[in-house]
Chain A
Amino acid sequence: MSQVKQLKKRIKVIKNIGHITKAMKTLASSRIKKVEKALKIGALYEEKMSEVMSRLLPAVPPEDSPFIKKEGEPVRSALIILTSDTGFCGSFNQNIIRAAVNFIQEKEPHNVSVFALGKKVISYLRRHEIPVEMAIPQWKPDIETARTIIARCTQLMEQNKIQQAVVVYSRPHAHLAAFTDILFPFSLQEEEEKPHQGDFIIEPNPRESFNFLLPLFLNARLLRMFLEARNGEIENRLRSMTNASDNADKLTEALTMKYFKARQDGITQELMEIVGGSEAVK
């Protein structure tokens, strides 16, 4: 009988967890449309910016801007890590954190200035006592956040504290992968894919234009990554919550079966005892 009671309690607990995961699933599926739309717009803007930049880039001598890739490996880096604030999204945060930690180890911890976004990575870094340059819990994928980070990065760049900025994040439709992309400096080869198409008249001159557009471009680029990360997070959440709900349902089903069996056992047992008892009294 005690087993029946225990099973009942356990089924209740699991059903409750199932309710939570189902609610999270519904929430994620309603949010995913919104973020997908935002990403579409952000991506379009960034693409156009990138096109313009790639036209400007060949016209600017690399020595003129620290944001253009030079010879040799950059030594010091800014590492921007994009995680979520809440759990319930499978191994999303784990993968990003793992990739980030790998990067930090490779470059040696003292060569990396960490920009931590999202409570998950912040608490992780704090726990393992890895110093953080900037921590933004509960971040929003908006231009304000991007500007703050870019401004700080630019500052560090000017002080020659970093030579490159790297973003670790996830993208939509990438199941378990974490991406490590270089935000800047730009390399010529990469942006040169499209050769000059006709002659452009650049006003006032390529260098000034480049410097003017640079922060706008970086902001747009980071924003796109933000949106992609958020998209990936919600997608992951949807997937893992669907799985969790299925697991909860399966577990409930199995336990309910066990519960019925245990209950029936008890009933049969009692019946037998009543029958046996009355037989013996006769």
Chain B
Amino acid sequence: MSQETTGIITQIIGSVVDVKFPPKKLPKILNHLKVQLENADGTLKNKWLHLEVMDEIGDYRVRCLALGSTDGLRRGMPVLDTGGPIKVPVGKEVLGRLFNVMGEPIDRLGDIPTDKKYNIHRAPPKLEHQIPTSKVFPTGIKVIDLLAPYALGGKTGLFGGAGVGKTVLIQELIRNIATEHEGYSVFVGAGERTREGNELWLDMKRSGVLAKTALVFGQMDEPPGVRFRISLTGITMAEYFRDEEHMDVLIFIDNIFRFVLAGSEVSALLGRMPSAVGYQPTLATEVGKLQERITSTLAGAITAVEAIYVPADDITDPAVATTFSHLDSTCVLSRQIVEQGIYPAVDPLSSTSRLLDPRFIGDEHYETALRIQEILQRYNDLQDIIAILGVEELSEDDKAIVARARRIQKFLSQPMFVAEQFTGRKGKYLTISETVAGFRELAEGNLDHIPEQAFYMTGNIDDVLENAQKIASSNANLPQNNNKEKPDKNNNDKFKTKIYAQ
């Protein structure tokens, strides 16, 4: 539509703006409207506020969501209808750049030299174009590769309450997979810390990944409309690479929950009745529309890693539960595990993956994962008994399981590359076969004689053995004098450990 129609603002409630248009010239739902802002003296600024039509409320009025601050807006201001939805630039030109929700560069490196623009509200791919995922996507992180393997071209969720390490884990994943990844990546910062966005940008620049990455930010300082639509902007950019360039794309979204939250913030203002736990009644629709677009098609694959904040550590929260059902693999970060000092704090019992099936990962991996979960589950079941009666009352078998489970828990920790400057430990990357081999040894009880601490923050089994030797030699230095008379100390030790393994 070349001729732009003009309406006027009739009501402003926070982020929601009502605009009246001439009869028969109403903009369509999801159309992009814009308002030119004014200076204090009434002259026009060279700055526009963008609105998106959400509802028609009768009397030739439309209700719009502001994609920016509504400060300085007043009734009677003219509003332009652009005649279509919001469009963002796509293509190779977006790589290495930083965008806001409107697809405008925010890195002060000039305009994007492209005419290729995509509508951010696109239909999800048709079922007949979608392809199921069955290939494991190695991450180099033990607990994930073993218990919740990621799918190439699948969706993965990192669930976690406040401060359990979601962002650190997502950054570690970026480091581990985006760096090794051949294709392009898109990072969406939705409603998270602005500082983290900045750090990520600088980090990516340093490591050289930036050249094949597009970054989109609508952080926590932005109004709800921005946080609501920012994920769509990122997904649209990724979709282009999939559909037009036929490439495998990675998309990282931190944090998809902010999308729901922003929707909930504006829902009541839009006049919708709140539903369960105060969320918008359209929760499932909104989440579905977004998630369904992140799929692999015959043209190419989108592999998504989404961080999902879990309010009050309650995994049954409607926003979280709705997202759950869309994912191929779920990685639940738990506060309990953070309290034990184990990072990444992935809960081995709640995390799972569609790929955890012998058809996809092979019998050995599958059986090992199952065995590990069994041991940990048993340990969990015994917790109450231990709390009441003490470990001493357990049967010999259970004691062995408790000891093994404790070693497994320690072994699930892993030093991370991105946390190197905080922990002072060098990050570790493990291949899946290394991971599986290590855990199988543990599950079979071949490592019961190695002290628990030796497993903490290690990479593969060789690291553990090395650690164990270090611990043994530092212990041996102390009581050596007492043991001088015993020539067969080694034999004795073996006997001892055999008996005291519990």
Q: Establish whether residues B388 and A105, one from each chain, have CB atoms under 8 Å apart when the complex forms.
A: no
Q: Establish whether residues A251 and B384, one from each chain, have CB atoms under 8 Å apart when the complex forms.
A: yes
Closest to A10 in B: B384
What total of chain B residues lie within 8 Å of the partner, measured CB to CB?
Answer: 24
Q: Establish whether residues B278 and A276, one from each chain, have CB atoms under 8 Å apart when the complex forms.
A: yes
Q: Find chain A residues with CB under 8 A from B276 CB.
A: 273
A274 CB to closest chain B CB, in angstroms?
11
B385 CB to closest chain A CB, in angstroms?
7
Bound CA–CA A157/B486 (angstroms): 29
B57 CB to closest chain A CB, in angstroms?
15
A65 at the interface (CB under 8 A from B): no
Q: Find chain B residues with CB under 8 A from A88 CB.
A: 389, 393
B496 at the interface (CB under 8 A from A): yes
Q: Find chain A residues with CB under 8 A from B498 CB.
A: 128
Interface residues of B in 235-286 (CB under 8 A from A): 268, 272-278
Q: Mark B114-155, 1 if CB is under 8 A from A, else 0.
A: 000000000000000000000000000000000000000000
Q: Find chain B residues with CB under 8 A from A189 CB.
A: none
Bound CA–CA A88/B499 (angstroms): 21
Q: Find chain B residues with CB under 8 A from A21 CB.
A: 388-389
A-B contact count (CB 8 A): 62
Q: Mark A95-136, 1 if CB is under 8 A from B, else 0.
A: 000000100010000000000000000011001100000000
Q: Establish whether residues B278 and A3, one from each chain, have CB atoms under 8 Å apart when the complex forms.
A: no
B272 CB to closest chain A CB, in angstroms?
8
- Chain A facing B: main interface SS: helix
Closest to B396 in A: A127
Q: Establish whether residues A17 and B384, one from each chain, have CB atoms under 8 Å apart when the complex forms.
A: yes
B387 at the interface (CB under 8 A from A): yes
Q: Find chain A residues with CB under 8 A from B495 CB.
A: 105
Q: Establish whether residues B388 and A244, one from each chain, have CB atoms under 8 Å apart when the complex forms.
A: yes
Q: Find chain B residues with CB under 8 A from A101 CB.
A: 499
Q: Find chain A residues with CB under 8 A from B392 CB.
A: 90-91, 94
- Chain B facing A: main interface SS: helix
Q: State whether A14 and B274 are in contact (beta carbons under 8 Å apart), knowing that A124-B396, A128-B499 are contacts in the complex.
A: no
B492 at the interface (CB under 8 A from A): yes
Q: Establish whether residues A247 and B274, one from each chain, have CB atoms under 8 Å apart when the complex forms.
A: no
B205 CB to closest chain A CB, in angstroms?
45
Q: Establish whether residues A277 and B384, one from each chain, have CB atoms under 8 Å apart when the complex forms.
A: no
A1 at the interface (CB under 8 A from B): yes
Interface residues of A in 51-104 (CB under 8 A from B): 87-88, 90-91, 94, 101
Residue of A2, A13, A269, A276 near B384 (CB, 8 A) is A13
Bound CA–CA A1/B316 (angstroms): 9
B363 at the interface (CB under 8 A from A): no
Q: State whether A281 and B384 are in contact (beta carbons under 8 Å apart), knowing that A3-B316, A87-B393, A105-B496 are contacts in the complex.
A: no
Bound CA–CA A124/B399 (angstroms): 13
Closest to B273 in A: A280
Bound CA–CA A90/B390 (angstroms): 7
A94 CB to closest chain B CB, in angstroms?
5
Q: Mark A140-169, 1 if CB is under 8 A from B, else 0.
A: 000000000000000000000000000000
Q: Find chain B residues with CB under 8 A from A247 CB.
A: 387-389
Q: Establish whether residues B278 and A17, one from each chain, have CB atoms under 8 Å apart when the complex forms.
A: no
Bound CA–CA A88/B268 (angstroms): 59
Q: Establish whether residues B384 and A280, one from each chain, have CB atoms under 8 Å apart when the complex forms.
A: no
A50 CB to closest chain B CB, in angstroms?
35
A170 at the interface (CB under 8 A from B): no
A200 CB to closest chain B CB, in angstroms?
45
Q: Establish whether residues A269 and B277, one from each chain, have CB atoms under 8 Å apart when the complex forms.
A: yes
Q: State whether A280 and B274 are in contact (beta carbons under 8 Å apart), knowing that A1-B316, A101-B499 are contacts in the complex.
A: yes
- List 17 contacting pairs A-B, 8 Å CB cutoff, sorted by A: A3-B314, A13-B384, A17-B384, A17-B388, A90-B392, A90-B393, A91-B392, A94-B392, A123-B396, A124-B396, A128-B498, A240-B389, A240-B390, A247-B388, A272-B278, A276-B278, A280-B268
Given pairs A2-B316, A280-B273, 17 additional interface contacts (CB within 8 A): A3-B314, A17-B385, A17-B388, A18-B388, A87-B393, A88-B393, A105-B495, A124-B396, A128-B498, A244-B389, A244-B390, A247-B389, A248-B388, A273-B274, A276-B274, A277-B273, A281-B273
